[in-house]
Structure 1
Amino acid sequence: MTERRQLRGELISEMLAVVIIVTLGDSAAAMITLYDPSPYAQAYWGVCIAWGLAVTLAIYVTGSVSGTHANPAVTLALAIFRGFPKRKVAPYIAAQVVGGFIGAALVLQLWHPVIDAYNAAHDLTRAGGGAAGVFFTHPGEHIAPMHAFWDEVILTAFLLLGIFAITDEFNEVAPRANAGALMIGLLVATIGASGGYLEGWPINPARDFGPRLFAWLAGWGSSALPGPQAYFWVPIAGPLVGGVVGAGIYQFLIKPYLPSGRTQAQGGSAELPTSVDPQ
């Protein structure tokens, strides 16, 4: 396989992974947003587990090709700490954002009659932000944009801390073989269950910006970009910073004290995995 063909396959894989995550995850968001009573009104864990299992499915479908980063924060952290080629960072991120855009288009195809009925029933419009929560995130009650930024730094730090631990081949208590995909999905679900009401737990710039860009073109206009209080930058910057923080915590505060880490420090060597592929 030529290098160019391999990269093309990796980018298609990254795009498809985010399509899967956004299509299924945003459809769960539609279930809680557009129906009254919502099927998730008393069972928010259902939304969280839907997002988490969407991530698991994406890993099973695409992990053998690209490693299923499916998140610019993951790609950046892997490039900094685990030797992922820096020349691939921008193409991977672009493919992930395109995947978010396509996923949002599929969500609108699935849900547009319900979205239009919801907006009509509540005297809302797309331009006014009606049903926008189906596609992209926004601050919850009492949450200002700068506070949301720090929330996303913290939540995404937990995400990357967990991913680096789960995918570290030298971590003896990490899940083995294909179980890593399920554990990463459950990690995403747990973060949502713990902090999702703050600002929708984007923890992934592509998951937010791709659908936000699509919604901007599909009639939501300035309610999507730049969003109220120019909020659009928060789900981009917060996860990118938080991902580096969480990965750095694992690399500097945990990994050196693993049995394999001590061996390496004494003169051994070992290759680090460069993807979140749990296989």
Structure 2
Amino acid sequence: MTARKKLIGELIAECVAVFIIILFGDSVAAMYTLYDPSPYKTAYWGVCIVWGLGVTIAIYATGAVSGTHANPAVTVALAIYRGFSWAKVAPYCAAQILGGFLGAGVVYTMFSPVIEHFAISHGLDRLHDGAAAGVFFTHPGEFVTPLHSFVVETILTAMLVFGIFAITYEHNTMAPEANSGALIIGLLVAAIGASAGYLDAWAINPARDFGPRLFCYFAGWGPQALPSPGNYWWVPILGPISGGVIGAGFYRTLIQPFMPRPAVAASSIETSV
């Protein structure tokens, strides 16, 4: 396989991975937001599990091709700390954002009648009120400012990437085997959402937020999506990237140097008899 063909396959895989995550994640957000009574309003853990399972399914589907970064914050952290090619960082991130854009388009296709009914019944519109915007992209929760949300996104993504680095480190004897690592990473995403998701909807992934946000800009939400109230759009980009670098750095500095290594194989030099 040529290097060009390999890269094309990796980019397709990254796009598909984020597409899968958004297809499941934004759909469960629609179920949470648009229906009254919502099946999830008193069972928020279900929302978190669906997002996590979306990540798990994406890894199982595409991991053998691209490694399933599915997140620019992960891609940048891998380039800094684990030798991922810097030449691939921008193409990977672009493919991830495209996957988020396409995933949001499919979710919109499925739920558009319900979105319209939600807006009409609540006296809202997309352009001025951002009706149902929370289905697709994130925003600060109650009592949370954009600046505070930046801190939250940095911390939560640091937790995510710290966990990913631990789960995937080759000498971590307590890490799950390769076939179960995807499930544990999905549960990590779910745990982050369950513990802090109400603060700002736990983007922890620039592609997860910006791809759908870009779709919504063209689908009628306009300035509610970009630049969004309070110019919030940059927070789910820079916060996760900063957090990813910090979390990976913490693992690399505080845990990895003390990880037990397998015994060095015996010398292949044999004595004659």
TM-score in terms of structure 1 length: 0.93
Percent identity over the alignment is 65
CA distance in 2, matches of 1:13, 1:179: 20
> How many residue pairs were aligned?
263
Q: Which residue of 2 aligns with 1:95?
A: 95
Q: Residue 177 of structure 1: CA displacement?
A: 2.4
Q: What pairs with 1:32-43 in structure 2 (closer than 5 Å)?
A: 32-43=32-43
Q: Which residue of 2 aligns with 1:229?
A: 230
For the pair 1:162 / 2:163, whether they are aligned, the reply is yes
For the pair 1:171 / 2:172, whether they are aligned, the reply is yes
Q: Which residue of 1 aligns with 2:29?
A: 29
Amino acid at match of 1:172: T
CA radius of gyration, larger in = 2
Amino acid at match of 1:242: G
CA distance in 2, matches of 1:127, 1:20: 27
Amino acid at match of 1:100: G
CA distance in 2, matches of 1:60, 1:124: 40
Amino acid at match of 2:25: G
Contiguous gaps of at least 5 residues in structure 1:
265-279
Amino acid at match of 1:106: V
TM superposition outliers: structure 1 runs of 4+ over 2 Å: none
Which secondary structure state, in structure 2, belongs to the residue aligned with residue 41 of structure 1?
A: coil
CA distance in 2, matches of 1:147, 1:98: 28
For the pair 1:76 / 2:84, whether they are aligned, the reply is no
Which secondary structure state, in structure 2, belongs to the residue aligned with residue 141 of structure 1?
A: coil
Which secondary structure state, in structure 2, belongs to the residue aligned with residue 201 of structure 1?
A: coil
Q: Which residue of 2 aligns with 1:145?
A: 146
Instruction: Please give the per-residue CA displacement for 1:117-176, whole angstroms capped at 9, x wherever unaligned.
Output: 000100111112000000000000000000000000000000000000000110010001
Instruction: Please give the per-residue CA displacement for 1:215-256, whole angstroms capped at 9, x wherever unaligned.
Output: 000000000000000000000000000000000000011000
CA distance in 2, matches of 1:256, 1:241: 22
Which secondary structure state, in structure 2, belongs to the residue aligned with residue 137 of structure 1?
A: coil
For the pair 1:216 / 2:217, whether they are aligned, the reply is yes
Instruction: Please give the per-residue CA displacement for 1:245-274, whole angstroms capped at 9, x wherever unaligned.
Output: 00000001100001129x89xxxxxxxxxx
TM-score in terms of structure 2 length: 0.95
Question: What RMSD, in angstroms, separates the aligned Cα atoms of the two structures?
Answer: 1.1
Amino acid at match of 2:216: A
